Amino acid sequence: MAESGTTKSWFTVGIAVATVVPGLFVLLAVPAADPAIKALLYGVAIVGAAFLLSWAAEVAQLDFSQGLALALLALIAILPEYVVDASFAWLAADDPAYAGYAVANMTGANRLLIGIAWPMVIVLGYLRFRRRKVDLEQDHGIELTVLLMATIYVFVIPFKGNLNLVDLVILVSIFGFYIWRIARLPAEAPHLAGPAQTIGAYPPLQRRLIIGAMTVGSAIVILMVAKPFAKALVASGTALGIDEFLLVQWLAPLASESPEFVIVALFAWRGAATSALGTLVSSKINQWTLLVAMLPLVFSIAKGGITAMPLDERQQSEVFLTAAQSLFAVSLLLDLRLSIFGAALLFVLFMTQLIIPEIRDEMAYLYIVLTVVNLIISRRHLTNAFKWIWVKQRVGNRPAPGGGSG
């Protein structure tokens, strides 16, 4: 019976690998294919790679803390976003219009994560298990505190009117502190199922080689396919007469974020809503620190010297709105849970500013007002934010990583 389960698991892995092949074939051998066909096949390849990544991340929790495993997963899953945004920042050195695209892509990716992906986890949990909330483990409080630190700093950027290497140093330092802190948490035995359970049963060396190969292979596929996927998707949208700026801000990030969306959807659908939301919080930290910090670095390299990347009035408003949304999202998680009401509020507010982009500033101030109201209501949870970073986390009496919400 065990052998039958092992065969079935490896057959499932084989299917995931097979879904990658058509996209790579078109990329390498048929570059002149129709954009719609390329977008479809590249998208399928990303989904297949995302499945492989999700299994590798689950098994990795046997060797690392859940937080570190999910942080590494999140970093790999959003590699396409780094590639696309770095391309815009590089081109901005010669054409200032691309600076706007770089900021639009970065802010769009950040707002999509909170406005769509966070609510998606709650919706999938409700549809599958009728759960009305997702509970985070105590360890995730560290991530929320770091996210709050990064968000408070990013509020400074719109008032400066540029992104410079000082921003790079501060934001990378925040990310470095985050990785250092979660790396010190203990590893625990996760609840594994399917291919992850089969791979996890191998001896340590064999298991690590397998998940290493799956992770590296998936990352290579994602890096190869992500930018062509975004371009093909944008080309398809342009053919339909969709505004270019909106494509850069929403459609391109949605394409490059697709591995992340697929992975967290898989986690949530299998009942691992805690891991799903934890991965999204980690991704938000990645995007809000490393992704933002990367822009002035790439811009300076392309310019051939240390220089700041200027932000016009619209770009400043976009960053301000994104920071305000992030602040409100963190306030909703102060009690380490996201309810279906909170998720609905995030979605409705996001869709409002998506449909009516002219009210960016008004929406930003609305997010801030709602944050203040929520902090007053949840003020008894505020003291936890100052304890999460330094208080040693208890290993016992915690749900296993990957467990569902309560």
- The CATH code of the domain that includes 175 is 1.20.1420.30
Q: For residue 85, is it within any domain?
A: yes
Burial class (CB in 10 A: 0-12, 13-18, 19+), 130: exposed
Tell me which of 223 and 359 has the higher pLDDT.
359
* Tens-place pLDDT, residues 238-271: 777 776 677 778 877 776 677 678 778 878 887 7
pLDDT category of residue 52 using cuts at 50, 70 and 90:
confident
Q: For residue 401, is it within any domain?
A: no
Q: For residue 405, is it within any domain?
A: no
- Give the pLDDT of residue 244: 67
Q: For residue 317, is it within any domain?
A: yes
Q: Are strands 162-163 and 337-339 parallel, antiparallel or unpaired?
A: unpaired
Q: For residue 400, is it within any domain?
A: no
Task: Give start and end residues of each alpha helix (H) in 248-291.
Answer: 252-256, 258-269, 273-286
Q: Quick one: DSSP state of residue 136? A: P
- Give the pLDDT of residue 396: 38
Q: How many Å apart are CA 195 and CA 377, to the nearest integer?
A: 44
b/e map 286-300, b = 16+ CB within 10 Å: bbbbbbbbbbbbbbb
Q: For residue 125, is it within any domain?
A: yes
Q: For residue 42, is it within any domain?
A: yes
Cα distances from 286 to residues 131, 276, 321, 328, 383, in angstroms, run: 28, 15, 18, 18, 25
* Tens-place pLDDT, residues 288-320: 999 999 999 999 999 888 999 999 898 899 999
Q: How many Å apart are CA 331 and CA 335, to the nearest integer?
A: 9
Q: How many Å apart are CA 195 and CA 63, to the nearest integer?
A: 17
Number of domain units in the chain? 1
Q: For residue 406, is it within any domain?
A: no
* Tens-place pLDDT, residues 130-149: 888 887 777 777 888 899 99
Range of the domain at 247: 2-387
CB 263 within 8 A of CB 73: yes
